Structure 1
Amino acid sequence: MGKNLTKRSEDYSKWYNELVVKADLAENSGVRGCMVIKPYGYAIWEKMQAGLDKMFKETGHENAYFPLFIPKSYLSKEASHVEGFAKECAVVTHYRLKNSEDGSGIVVDPEAKLEEELIVRPTSETIIWDTYRRWIQSYRDLPLLINQWANVVRWEMRTRLFLRTAEFLWQEGHTAHATENEAIEEAERMMNVYADFAENHMAMPVIKGLKTESERFAGAIETYCIEALMQDGKALQAGTSHFLGQNFAKAFDVKFASKEGKQEYVWATSWGVSTRLMGALIMTHSDDNGLVLPPKLAPIQVVIVPIYKGVEQLDEISEKVGPLVKELRSKGISVKFDDRDTHKPGFKFNEYELKGVPVRLAIGQRDLANGTYEVARRDTLKKETIPSEEVVAKIEFLLEDIQQNIYKKANDYRVAHMTEVDTYDEFKQIIEKKGGFVAAHWDGTMETEDRIKEETKATIRCIPFGFKTEEGKCMVTGKPSKERVLFAKAY
């Protein structure tokens, strides 16, 4: 099974596209701009879902489901929200088809026009806040902490598997609170949940911060974000959490009776991550040989490949491997014993390397005689021979070590690609030749932000938290600046 992947150094974009397809993660569908997520890719997404869902529930959230279709009038109730999504909306206008009179095929029945057009969900704030009006009456109903796992449609013309598709999968949290402070705390809490998941499950270091006004979610007062750096020096927004103030509560008349008996508008948040995290996972860790998956998200953590001639040898190996498989599974480790007789061991080694399986065991006649296994780790491709009685402990060690090692590698790359500049000429040179995050002073105006984007294709990824705050002068205009912000070219 030859990989024949384009090298990252030759064409990073082509490498990514080839890897997604060859590793059996996803493929383009018959519907332009939409993807088919294949079983192996979906298994990774299921692990992401499970990890995130557990974290949501541990912070008091419950899952619900809301309609795919949103009446057009709902979107027009919050002006900045509709403006932000208007160009990406798919619209349902009719509800019936019929055979054409000339027999040429099926046509839309002109008699079946909807009284009001329906928007295919680009995000659910409007339909959810219309629902919350009925759910919230008193301070006793608050906080309302709801999450939804769903699909959304944003009509994209230039698409790339996982990173940007017309339809994608995600979760969207929508919460209502009695006070402004509670809502802000919630928005910050969920940003931290996302950062925790990215770093401890995905092994992907992220920077937390605030979006600028021009980069905020449509209808938000503040947008909190986590930003990751891919191996080609481009940033990727990995998750966002929004403090919505009372904008949606006022638009949909969601009030509650306070403890003092006053009618007040609730305070809102929304937050979400999507299958874009799959793209982030691939681009953060993978190499020219294929996927490199963090053990916590790998569908198969350990694969065992028998090397044998004839059924008798296979039976002998199977008998030896059976108890090991059972013991690993009892410890919560996902393991596959690949005894297919349709493919040779070399093909299997190649396949599991391409698919990023963290640990590979091989066992042949010599290993049976010596009581050993050959153990290979995917991140470094190093192999060693381990006595049978030590193999379980070795596997447990490797799964932890690989998780930590690929995080360290990604973090080292990010640190090496974090540059401070003070002049616009230096900024342009770094953005063009080195890439990565560039920390620079900015005067806080949209005009300067737009100029930088137009001239360099770099955007302000965030106003970062945890960086030293130092006053300075904008690298472009020389006007005063309170702190450095992070720029990068981005996906």
Structure 2
Amino acid sequence: MNFSCNKYLSYKWFNDLICKSNLAEISKIRGCLIFQPYGLEIWNKIKNKLNYLLKKTGHENYYFPLLISITDLNKEYNHIKGFSKECAIVTHRRLNIKNKKILLDRNSKLKNELIIRPTSEAIIWNSLKKWINSYRDLPRLLNQWSNIIRWEMRPRFLLRNSEFILQEGHTVHSSKQEALSHSIKILNLYKYFIEKILSIPVIKGKKTPKEKFAGANTTYCLESVLLDGKALQIATSHFLGQNFSKSFDVKYFNKNGIYERPWGTSYGISTRLLGALVFTHSDKYGLILPPKIAPIQVVIISIIKKIEDNKILEKLVKKILVCLKNKKIRFFYDNRKRYNPGWKFNEYDIKGVPLRITIGKNEIQKGLIEIFRRDNRKRKHIKIRNIKNKITYFLKNIQKNIFLKALFLKNKFTKTIDDYKKFKQIFNSNGGLIYSHWDGRKESEKKIKEDTSASIICIPSKSKTKSNFGHCIYSNNLSKQRVIFAKCY
């Protein structure tokens, strides 16, 4: 198995790595992909761990229809305005075959055309109108794992697809403060999950009015920087205010028997997380997976050739497997005969398996095994009797180490700039995360993007400097805070 990495850190390298590691492949449909079993297994690990955390906070899983009526989608104007260019529309009920050609059946045209969901706020709030009648029905915390269609102008493999899998939460609350607090609570939950489970450091903040979610009052976000210096939005949490409760006429009786409108939130992460994993932790040899979500945490490979040594090998492997099972470590003993050890080493390098155990005749005679760490590519011989504690230690250390490496990269790409000429030079070369002052005007935000292709990815929650006040990088107008500019996917 060969993995071409001549253009390391290029977008082509990223695409090749996803395919060679058997995560996914590009389909014939523009912007859509085919998940391979290995990629789907990683996604299911992510899904199960996040699902567990959400259920602990009181969420219940639902599943709503794929199709939304235009009438419902049109009820919240800012929402439909924001998604109008990305919506896929169902116009007919059936097809006709004429002269071996497939044609739309003109007699089956729908009177009310349907939208394939770009997100589910419209269809969910339509149901909430029936479900919420009293203060006793609140708060209501819904979660959904769904397929989404958004016609992307410039699709990016696993980073910006036309079809993707989305975890989307939708909640309803009796007060503004409760809804706001919940939005931030979920953002913090996402931050914990992404940093502790996926080992990806993120920046917490909120979007500018221009970049916020369509139909939201405020969008809170988590942003990361990839190996090539570009930024990626990893998760968002939206405070919807009463926008959707007004649009869908949702009311409830409060404790005093008076009608009130509830307050809403929505939030989500998607299979974009897999793209973030690949483009944060990989190297020129292939993937580097965080042990907590790796389908295989330890792979065992024999380099013994003589048949007479196989009985000794099998006894030793059995002993190792029992140890790994007792520690609930996910392992795979690769005893395939049709591939030589070198081919297998290369395969698991590309797939990013955190630890590799190699067993040879010399190791058996000395009572040792060789451990290879995928994160730093270092080998170490350990005594077989110490395998239980050592494997657990290595996995924890790898999880921590790849986070620190990614954090070092993020800090390396982060700069504070006050000169617009230098600002433009940076974005004309390597890019990165640039902290600069902005005057809060849409005109300045738009002009900077036209000049540099850099967007304001977020207004950070914590200021990087002691003094928040300064002058806008573009207009020189008074600025209250630095924001983060970056080129992004």
Same fold flag (TM > 0.5): yes
Does 2:64 align with 1:78? no
The residue that corresponds to 1:126 in the other structure is: 122
Does 2:368 align with 1:372? yes
What is the SS of the residue equivalent to 1:435?
A: coil
The residue that corresponds to 2:195 in the other structure is: 199
CA distance in 2 between counterparts of 1:161 and 1:417 reads 23
Q: How far did residue 59 of structure 1 move?
A: 1.3
Opposite residue 4 of structure 1, the aligned amino acid is S
> After alignment, is 323-332 or 459-468 more displaced?
323-332
The residue that corresponds to 1:306 in the other structure is: 302
Opposite residue 110 of structure 1, the aligned amino acid is R
> After alignment, is 461-470 or 15-24 more displaced?
461-470
> After alignment, is 449-458 or 476-485 more displaced?
476-485
CA contact (8 A) 1:6 1:14 kept: no
Q: Compute the RMSD of aligned alpha carbons.
A: 1.2
CA distance in 2 between counterparts of 1:142 and 1:222 reads 22
CA distance in 2 between counterparts of 1:164 and 1:20 reads 14
The residue that corresponds to 2:85 in the other structure is: 87
Query: Pick from 281, 284, 287: which aligns with 2:283?
Result: 287
What is the SS of the residue equivalent to 2:107?
A: coil
Does 2:414 align with 1:418? yes
Query: Pick from 39, 60, 63: which aligns with 1:62?
Result: 60
The residue that corresponds to 1:6 in the other structure is: 6
CA contact (8 A) 1:423 1:475 kept: yes
CA distance in 2 between counterparts of 1:242 and 1:42 reads 28
Q: What's the TM-score, normalizing by structure 1?
A: 0.97
The residue that corresponds to 1:45 in the other structure is: 43
Structure 2 runs not aligned, ≥5 long: none
> After alignment, is 90-99 or 336-345 more displaced?
90-99
The residue that corresponds to 1:442 in the other structure is: 438
Q: Provide, for residues 244-302 of structure 1, a one-character-per-residue CA deviation record: whole Å limited to 9, x for no partner.
A: 00000010111111011111111000000000111111111100000011111111000
What is the SS of the residue equivalent to 2:12?
A: helix
Does 2:266 align with 1:270? yes
CA contact (8 A) 2:424 2:452 kept: yes
Q: How far did residue 57 of structure 1 move?
A: 1.0
Query: Pick from 338, 343, 346: which aligns with 2:342?
Result: 346
Does 2:293 align with 1:297? yes
Query: Pick from 90, 109, 112: which aligns with 2:108?
Result: 112
Q: How far did residue 393 of structure 1 move?
A: 1.5
CA contact (8 A) 1:431 1:438 kept: no
What is the SS of the residue equivalent to 1:4?
A: coil
CA distance in 2 between counterparts of 1:246 and 1:110 reads 41
The residue that corresponds to 1:481 in the other structure is: 479
CA distance in 1 between counterparts of 2:158 and 2:41 reads 14
Q: How far did residue 14 of structure 1 move?
A: 1.3
Q: How far did residue 434 of structure 1 move?
A: 4.0
CA contact (8 A) 2:148 2:163 kept: yes
What is the SS of the residue equivalent to 1:425?
A: helix
Q: Provide, for residues 55-99 of structure 1, a one-character-per-residue CA deviation record: whole Å limited to 9, x for no partner.
A: 111111111100000001111101110011111111111111232
CA contact (8 A) 2:21 2:350 kept: yes
Opposite residue 301 of structure 1, the aligned amino acid is Q
Query: Pick from 132, 140, 144: which aligns with 1:144?
Result: 140
Change (3 A) 1:135 1:311: farther
CA contact (8 A) 1:464 1:486 kept: yes
Query: Pick from 367, 371, 383: which aligns with 1:387?
Result: 383
Does 2:414 align with 1:457? no
Does 2:233 align with 1:237? yes
Runs of 4+ in 1 over 4 A off after TM superposition: none
CA contact (8 A) 2:457 2:485 kept: yes
The residue that corresponds to 1:408 in the other structure is: 404
Q: How far did residue 417 of structure 1 move?
A: 1.6
Q: Provide, for residues 413-462 of structure 1, a one-character-per-residue CA deviation record: whole Å limited to 9, x for no partner.
A: 11122111112112112223342111111110000000000000010011
% identical aligned pairs: 48
Q: How far did residue 376 of structure 1 move?
A: 0.2
CA contact (8 A) 1:256 1:264 kept: yes
CA distance in 2 between counterparts of 1:311 and 1:90 reads 60
CA contact (8 A) 1:437 1:488 kept: yes
Does 2:13 align with 1:15? yes
Q: How far did residue 157 of structure 1 move?
A: 3.8
